[in-house]
Chain A
Amino acid sequence: MKWWSWILSLIPAGLSISVSILATNEIIPNPVIFLRGNLAALVSRGGVTISIITIVLYLIWNQSQKKHEKTILDMQNQANEDRRRFLQRLDHELKNPLTAIRAGLTNINYQPLEEYVAGEVSAVLAQVMRINRLVADLRKLAALEITPLERITVNMAELLTDVISVLEDQANTEGRRLSLSLPNAPWPLPDVDGDADLLLLAIHNLLDNSIKFTAPGDTIEVRAFDDGSDIVIEIADTGPGIPENEINRVWEELYRGKKARGVPGSGLGLPLVRAIIEKHGGNIALRSRPDQGTVFSVRLPAS
């Protein structure tokens, strides 16, 4: 119970007691003298009763409120637990058949094969590897939800430079103008406490997305700056943009936008990015205009 609610509920008791004391001591003039004693007692009892009733009612209300919050929390925990189990079972149920399929295909490959059959086998193997990656991504999502973060001091400026230098050399980056701007004045980009591998994965996924959805001639800008206690990383591109009705859905697992058809990906990239950023106590938002481009902004608490 909060201090002010005690004071509020004790006001009737306080008032009535002081009124009755004042009345009994004849400080308050009262024409009905003979009733004075009884009336004073009555008033003070009434006031005390009102106070007690108020306190009791408040306590009951407070308790039910807490219970309500607890139920919501329980339901959320239960939902998370269910989801975690579901992902783990899915992971498990997919891994055994995948292991068998891969072993079987490897066996077939050891036989002399007609050209046609060999082609089919390698096509099937490529699809198996695709499911493999999907399962791996699902596992990453599940693992993120249950394992505590490894926290070390991460130099985000270095990490961004690293990701960009790797992606610059990638074949499908060709023709895009890729740039990184980092602050130097008045101070460089602050560090972040977190898991360097996961943060690298998140930034890589975002930037890789921009590269996949843009065409040669497009511009991709990575900008980082600090904003008080947070650092902000923006990844902006002049790509095709995301239609308004799809903007909120890109965070859903396995969702693939209309324009994403024909672009390789599992549909788990962005949900994974969001999970990583939120696990670090940060958040991610996106703004997009059709035919103009998209900007993702990642906000992470600085260390």
Chain B
Amino acid sequence: MIMTSKQKLLLVDDEIAITDRLAPFLSRAGFDVKVVADGESALTEIVSFSPDLVILDVLMPLLDGREVLRQLRQKGDWTPVILLTQVGESTERAMALIEGADDYINKPFDSNELVARIRSVLRRTSPGQPPLTVAERLRSNELVVDRTKRRAYLDSKEINLSPKAMSLLEYMITHPDELLTRERILDAVWGWDYPIGTRTIDTRVAELRRVLGDDPSDPQYIETVPGYGYRFVGKVEKTT
């Protein structure tokens, strides 16, 4: 008999009302779940429980989520982390990725959406390897994105993008091969759901395609997934 061990999740949030509801849901979804309520215990449990993924609330007493993430990455620990953000500010979300989170989701969220994110992060990351989200420069075909400078280059020539299109490109290139629904893109890049938000996204994607010279019928970078959203199909690698 082959034993497939369950994947382990560490859920870190000081709100018991949330963890009490979420932990059973995650167990039912097939994960082995452990709950802790503060940053200090999170750091200890990441070592002793060695979870496959950590769901980390940002606002916590004593040691907040950002600090836990920072200390973890400084030690060279690349356990995948999904941040539960509260303040929906775009700068805060962009920082979360730079600081080494694999993904983030805004509260309040749908439990099913959280499970979908967990699965896609687990599928994307390879154990012990830094995720694409922490790379300063990423390359895909002729496109290079410098995330610290917030600039993009095509064939070594700098391309001109609006700030929103740049944030969108950054999110897409750090989550390649994943189905990015319009709802998820709105939540991640815009931070709120917009009336006619889908139109907003389509406009920015059109801008990206125009600047990148990408043909939607034979995409090198951004593929349309009819009825759902988009997928970044270019092969992405870290570069210097």
A residues within 8 A CB of B110? 102, 106
B residues within 8 A CB of A205? 195
B residues within 8 A CB of A201? 194-195
B residues within 8 A CB of A152? 162-163
Q: Is the CB of A107 within 8 A of B192?
A: no
Given A92-B87, A102-B111, A200-B200, is A136 in contact with B192 using a C-beta cutoff of 8 Å?
yes
A residues within 8 A CB of B90? 147
B22 contacts partner chain A, Cβ-Cβ < 8 Å:
yes
A residues within 8 A CB of B164? 150, 196-197
A302 to chain B, nearest CB (A): 19
B86 contacts partner chain A, Cβ-Cβ < 8 Å:
yes
CB within 8 Å of B: which of A88-113?
Answer: 88, 91-92, 95-104, 106-107, 110
CB within 8 Å of B: which of A137-172?
Answer: 139-140, 143, 147, 150, 152, 162-163, 166
A69 to chain B, nearest CB (A): 32
Q: Is the CB of A107 within 8 A of B162?
A: no
CB within 8 Å of A: which of B1-25?
Answer: 15, 17-18, 20-22, 24-25
Q: Is the CB of A197 within 8 A of B107?
A: no
Given A95-B86, A99-B18, is A166 in contact with B199 using a C-beta cutoff of 8 Å?
yes
B232 to chain A, nearest CB (A): 21
Q: Is the CB of B111 within 8 A of A204?
A: no
Q: Is the CB of B86 within 8 A of A92?
A: yes
A residues within 8 A CB of B88? 139, 143
Q: Which of A96, A140, A200, A204 contacts B107 (CB 8 A)?
A: A96
Q: Is the CB of B196 within 8 A of A132?
A: no
B67 contacts partner chain A, Cβ-Cβ < 8 Å:
no
Q: Is the CB of B87 within 8 A of A106?
A: no
- Complex: chain B residue closest to A165, CB-CB: B199
Q: Is the CB of A150 within 8 A of B162?
A: yes
User: Which DSSP category, helix, strand, loop or mixed, fits chain A's interface?
Assistant: helix
A74 to chain B, nearest CB (A): 26
Q: Is the CB of A107 within 8 A of B18?
A: no
A277 to B231, CA, bound (A): 35
- Complex: chain B residue closest to A101, CB-CB: B108
Most B CB contacts (10 A, CB to CB) among A95, A152, A163, A204 go to A95
Interface size, chain A (Cβ < 8 Å): 35
CB within 8 Å of B: which of A213-245?
Answer: none
A171 to B17, CA, bound (A): 39
Given A110-B28, A163-B196, is A100 in contact with B17 using a C-beta cutoff of 8 Å?
yes
Q: Is the CB of A88 within 8 A of B17?
A: no
Most A CB contacts (10 A, CB to CB) among B21, B24, B112, B203 go to B21
A208 contacts partner chain B, Cβ-Cβ < 8 Å:
yes
A150 to B86, CA, bound (A): 22
B148 to chain A, nearest CB (A): 19
A101 to B89, CA, bound (A): 23
Most B CB contacts (10 A, CB to CB) among A99, A104, A147, A152 go to A99
Given A97-B17, A147-B90, A150-B164, is A162 in contact with B199 using a C-beta cutoff of 8 Å?
yes
Most A CB contacts (10 A, CB to CB) among B90, B108, B196 go to B108
Given A107-B21, A107-B24, A197-B164, is A99 in contact with B195 using a C-beta cutoff of 8 Å?
no
B residues within 8 A CB of A91? 86-87
A289 to chain B, nearest CB (A): 28
CB within 8 Å of A: which of B61-100?
Answer: 86-91
Q: Is the CB of A150 within 8 A of B195?
A: no
- Complex: chain B residue closest to A269, CB-CB: B195
Q: Is the CB of B192 within 8 A of A208?
A: no
A residues at B contact (CB < 8 Å): 88, 91-92, 95-104, 106-107, 110, 132, 135-136, 139-140, 143, 147, 150, 152, 162-163, 166, 196-197, 200-201, 204-205, 208
New A-B contacts (13) at CB < 8 Å, excluding given A100-B18, A107-B24: A88-B87, A91-B87, A92-B86, A99-B109, A100-B20, A101-B108, A103-B25, A107-B111, A132-B108, A139-B88, A139-B192, A197-B190, A205-B195
- A-B residue pairs in contact (CB < 8 Å), sample of 5: A96-B18, A136-B192, A143-B191, A152-B162, A200-B194
Question: Nearest 10 A-B pairs (CB), nearest first?
Answer: A103-B21, A100-B17, A98-B108, A99-B108, A95-B107, A106-B111, A100-B18, A104-B21, A99-B107, A152-B162
